[in-house]
Structure 1
């Protein structure tokens, strides 16, 4: 898939290219901030929040094995960081804090560095609280929340979070694609989950989302963390893969031929 991209900004080839420098940039950030975290370990949530998108990018661009090696020094931070994020949830912006911490843990699970922490976290309660708030935040928060809800097996909650009304019964159409319509893609996955659609019928939508990710990222609509949440939703809830295999399933899909 990625091999078909052209050389314009916002393509997978760009993200892998030395000229664009995304891989090197992510590796350098991960090393630098890991050293800082290990030197000052008293605020684990802030450290993981800062590195969530970095680790997510490494999972996608470098694969599960290299990402796991990068994440392992920070594994002891995951449990206390989630606890810290939970205590702070009502006091700070949940999109910028609790969900970012959770996104680091998700990336660590997808590359096999940790397991079971997302499911054991209070994430669903966070999402339910966000769903009750007046919709003042920008769409990106709600897209992230919707993807997390899918990963937690809550398609109706995902639909509520991203907007568009309840999921109509019997509305799944095989083989749809959504281009840059992130809301439509999330609602489609939610419908597929609710109706237990076969993976082959959902895969075109997933591949279209991956194909369009670089441009959506360039436009500020999604981040590396969103890509990993979407991958977890598709591979674990539709394909029925273990969480620890999500990273290794995603990487070949984006790597240029």
Structure 2
């Protein structure tokens, strides 16, 4: 596999928030390259992004590879090779190799079957999730209160509370079907990162100002078994596993 260093660094940076820190399953500390995609998951959020250059299957230990690539010129062509238990990188002036886990230990991308989906303005939705996040509980023993509640429907509403204080915001957005879901707090951070880092494609207009002011949208889908799927522009997808439970009565 051959890819420009700068592009590979950009791909790893995009996936970084979804890579597990100090995972019990060692492969979750890596990014999986497979079938033209790069994939990362911390078991709460999985992020998949299209990388057409990927023509092999291997794990990439994120921390170790990033340490090497930050000193490698971005315009260099990077050659990536793998064999069982080993990843090799080579560029014009150097090379590096890393021990890697078996790619078979990395979770499969789930077969997401949408029950409902619709396009949502994420310039409104994701900042709202971030604004209410500080009101969520930080105690992991109360997972329902430690997440952000998203009320899909017409209108869309977001809320969070720790049992002592709460924040609630109604948004000028509409989703085809009413559903109440709880997004893990870590997933909100990943969605914010993807919102900031994925490309913003302007509408096909000639005037500059409308293009600059155009809102950013994502296709959002709900699957009662797997959670929410956010499809960002340019082939990046996030699958969020929702918190199991019902939000408190104070949201009603």
TM-score past 0.5 threshold: no
TM-score tier (shorter): under 0.3
Of structures 1 and 2, the one with the larger relative CO (CA 8 A, separation 6+) is: 1
Which structure: greater strand fraction?
A: 2
TM normalised by structure 1 equals 0.24
Larger Rg: 2
TM normalised by structure 2 equals 0.24
